[in-house]
Amino acid sequence: MEKPLCPRESGQFVSEHSRDVFIEEGGVQEVAEMLYRLRHSEALTASGWKKANPLALLPTSDQALNWVFVVDTMNFSFWPEKEAEQCEVTYKGTTYTGYMTLCASITRAVEEGVPITDPKYFSQMSVEELGLVLRSDNEIAMPMLQERHQALTEGGRVLLEHGGSFRSFISQAGNDAQKMVELIVEKIPSYRDEATYEGRRISFYKRAQILVADFWGVMEARGEGSITNMDWLTMFADYRVPQALVYLGVLRYSDTLMQVLKNGELLLSGDRREVEIRGCSIWSVELIKERLQKLVQERDGQTCDINATVIDFYLWPFAKEHHKEMAHIPIHHTRCIYY
């Protein structure tokens, strides 16, 4: 089988052939201008990782790196079947939904003495044990428990084969972000986020890329070395950031697609429309990044090191904070292990 296009090339290829999702030049310019105004703020630095992951363990130990691995290996499909019926987890007096239920569950388990960050444990834990770790406050369970269990135990076995920790595993790729993604995708099947579109094999690697980006965020917080080639990473194509890109006028959906999404129709993983939403999201953020770099060069006479990862670190919390204003824009629903 042919090697798939890398995520950036995939995004460009999809955007050039898309029939239902379109990138708006004016929206790209406006968001680049918005980010230009924020260019010196903490929101556009690696510390944006902490804003998106406030429940992460303190980055002072390698346990924090294993926490990142556990969370990212199960970081998929949190949307509820019905908006009013969400899985909820309360931790230290705050009730969380969505992705944050996973973070709260894992950090709660650590405090309860469950060795959930130890690959020796989570590589062989039972479905029932994981269900207890991921238990909700209400009768609505976190979706896809079986799939999360399979992904986590599989990932744990891979870590045990490569030194017994996420840090020892990822160190085999040196400090190169691209090689890290390639290593993760090669060794851990649940991270192989690929599809076929217009006869070409393409890739998004959302979870593999975010795993590398989270590792980068933790290491930056520790002031411990740097990862090279971070600009190889793209945004992380999920369902929340595309909604924000539509809201900001960067993406436009065809009337047909918009109606399908408003009707709540489930899109299968690999469906042409789902691929177009994700691919155009990737390429639109690449265009925003290029425009932002050009603005900084033209106006400040400086080079701009804000990459797609940092832009995603800004857009994801932005989407959460403005979810009420964006409620009229439907997210696409795809039940899968990739995002």
Catalytic-labelled residue, pool 72, 193, 214, 238 = 238
Give how many domains the chain has, as a whole number.
1
Asked if the structure places residue 338 within a domain, the reply is no
335: in domain: no
Residue 1 lies in a domain: no
pLDDT band at 48 (very low <50, low <70, confident <90, very high): low
pTM, two decimals, is 0.95
**Do residues 247 and 324 lie in contact, with contact meaning Cβ atoms separated by under 8 Å?**
no
pLDDT digits (tens, 9 = 90+) for 309-320: 999 999 998 999
pLDDT given for residue 297 in this prediction: 97
Instruction: Specify the range with the lowest mean pLDDT, choosing from 43-52, 140-149, 166-175.
Output: 43-52
pLDDT digits (tens, 9 = 90+) for 265-297: 999 999 999 999 999 999 999 999 999 999 999
Least confident of 42-46, 67-71, 240-244, 313-317: 42-46
271 is catalytic: no
User: How far, in Å, CA of 151 to CA of 295, rounded?
Assistant: 42
Sorting pLDDT into bands at 50, 70 and 90, what band is 220? confident
- Whether 40 is in a domain gets the answer yes
Q: Does residue 35 fall inside a structural domain?
A: yes
The predicted-structure confidence for 134-160, as pLDDT tens digits, reads as follows 999 999 999 999 999 999 999 999 999
The residue range of the domain holding 154 is 7-321
- Between CA 56 and CA 45 the distance in angstroms is 17
Is residue 330 domain-resident? no
Residue 332 included in any domain: no
Is 91 part of a structural domain of the chain? Answer: yes
- Which amino acid is residue 286, in one-letter code? E
Question: For the chain, what's the residue count?
Answer: 339
Q: Beta-strand (E) ranges in the chain?
A: 21-23, 89-91, 94-96, 194-197, 200-203, 251-253
